[in-house]
Amino acid sequence: AQSVAQPEDQVNVAEGNPLTVKCTYSVSGNPYLFWYVQYPNRGLQFLLKYITGDNLVKGSYGFEAEFNKSQTSFHLKKPSALVSDSALYFCAVSAAEDGNNRLAFGKGNQVVVIP
């Protein structure tokens, strides 16, 4: 079974400052890792994924994430936060050996960017 931990309920950051949202995971075998963002009353919007290769992956809207196998982490980062980045962020994992790509999500982090 796989699981995700997102330890912080809310992340507050000033506009223009770096943004980091933390995620650690547990999975049997090799992980596929994902970040999604959810705006109020909306579905999940795909940001980026790690499948294999370079540990630093770049995604949409200036977001990037770093895969760290030894720490089983996949933290989401953005160098300079915008007010429009305020939303709910979910980290998800699936097992590479699971051909069905069943996703396990964390509970989410509310990001608040302060103007």
d(CA 37, CA 68): 21
Residues 40-99 that bind another protein (CB under 8 A): 41-46, 49, 51, 90, 92, 94
Query: How many other C-beta atoms lie within 10 A of the C-beta of residue 97?
Result: 10
Assess 5 for contact with another protein (CB under 8 A): no
Place of tokens 């049997």: 28
Q: Indicate the SS3 state at residue 55.
A: coil
Single residue of 25, 36, 63, 67 touching another protein by CB under 8 A: 36
Binding positions for another protein, rule: CB under 8 A: 4, 32, 34, 36, 41-46, 49, 51, 90, 92, 94, 100-108
